[in-house]
Structures are given as structure tokens and as C-alpha cells.
Amino acid sequence: MQWFFAQNAAIQSLLISFFMYAMTTLGAAFVFFSKKLNEHILTILTGAAAGIMIAASFFSLLLPAIGYPGVLPSYLTVTLGFLLGGAFIVCSDFALSRSRKLLGRVKDGKSALLYLAVTLHNIPEGMAVGVAFAQGAGAEGAVLSALFLAVGIAVQNFPEGLCVAFPLRSHGMSPLKSFLFSQGSGLVEIPACVLGAVAATFIAGLMPWALSFSAGAMIAVVCSELIPECFEDSKILASTGVIAGFCLMMILDVALG
């Protein structure tokens, strides 16, 4: 573990991004063994991932961003960065929904739309992890906080791999092709992680913008994808997962930060 702490932010981000990608791949691999999902387990996992990401958005991203000096007052920088991150996801969702008619003409239109949405949302998630590692450079506690953020996103990636692979399979795609497409949606997190770390490390003044942008994008992803999805099955299980995930990330971040 000490070897990992000794690496620079870009290397740390690269290494952890492979773990995040592996969790997507693991989720996608279940398409080889089953045609059905346990909805209750999936609901709890998705809720927990949402709670972890909400807590990480504040404790790992927004709170550190407030402490950075800049040309603008910190509260204004953080607010604008957060709005830009949220707007990025909202505009992306709007663009995807506008494509629904076109994709609806294809047999697997709905699955294709889901695949594009998951892939697109993985970009700011990967960047958030890279930025968190850059922010925590030189401090073991902050690096651990970034590591837990990555684990939280990796937990979310597992059901994402499931949720992309199984609809493709149900629309007649072979298990192998369903797996390959699903795991491919997680590949974008690898370059996104490294890009976030490198940009935040070497571009002066970018850190508070990058942190708050990532937080806004992450909250928008949680609101548009995870919360609606997990609350469809059971409000009780979903709420339990969200609260448990938030508390876990808060305790780890406050205790180690």
C-alpha cells in the first residue's frame, strides 16, 4: 500500500481506473451465467452507490474546492463549477433523449440509448476520481479519501455492467456480444481518470473548478440515473442503501480526511 501512496496522482489514477473498469467487466460477465437479476440486491447496491457518490461529492470534492484561493471568491468558483458539471450531464441527457426517435427505429434502440448514457456518464465519474487523487497528492489521508471515492464508483459500476449487458441479451444479442458491449462502456473511465489527474495537477487554478465540476456532474448522474432506477423496485431498500452508502463514505472521509 505504501508503494501506491508513493506514486504520483496520474499513476494512482491509472491503476485505480483499471479496478473501476474491472468491476464493470465483472458485472457484465454475469450475462454468461443467468438471464435474470435479483432486483432486491441490485436495488440495495445501486442505492448504496448513490449514497456513496452523494457524500463523496461534498466531502471529497466540494469541501476541498472551497479552500482553494483564486481570482473569483471561492464560493462563486465552486458554485459556477458545480453548475457547469450539472449542466454537462443535463445537456447530455437532453441530447440522448432527442436521439430516442432515431434509435427507436432500431431493434435495440432502448438498449443503445442506455449504453450511450452509461458510457457518457462514466467520463465525469472517471475525471472526478483523477481530480480527487490530484487534490490529495502528498497526503495519505486525502489519497485514501480519493481511493474510497473510486471504490464507491466501482461499486456503482458493477450493477451498471449488469444493467447494460442484460437488456442487450434480452433483445437477442449473444452473451459474448452483450458482454463485450457492456464492458466497453467502462473503458472510458481509464483515460478520463488520467486526464482529470494530469489536468488538475499541471494547470494552475484548475483544481477548484475541476473538483466542483466533477461534483456537479456526479450529483446530476445520481439524480438522473441511480435514484430513479433504484427507487422503482423498493423505496425501503433503496432508502436503506442510500443512507448506508452515505454514512459509510462520510465516516471514512471525515475520519481519514
Q: Supply the DSSP string of 123-134, one letter for each residue.
A: HHHHHHHHHHHH
Angle at 164 (CA atoms; ends 85, 19), nearest 5 degrees = 70
What is the pLDDT at residue 165? 79
Q: Quick one: average pLDDT of 31-45?
A: 75
* pTM beyond 0.85: no
First to last CA, the chain: 17
Mean of per-residue pLDDT scores for the chain = 79
CA–CA distance, 76 with 137 (Å, rounded to integer): 25
Between 159 and 242, the higher pLDDT residue:
242
C-alpha cell recorded at residue 197: 489527474
- What single-letter DSSP state applies at residue 8? -
Ranges of each domain in the chain? 10-28+38-256
What is the pLDDT at residue 121? 67
pLDDT digits (tens, 9 = 90+) for 71-88: 788 889 999 999 998 898
C-alpha cell recorded at residue 113: 440509448
Residue 243 has pLDDT above 90, yes or no: yes
CA–CA distance, 159 with 201 (Å, rounded to integer): 31
CA atoms within 13 A on the CB side of 211: 26
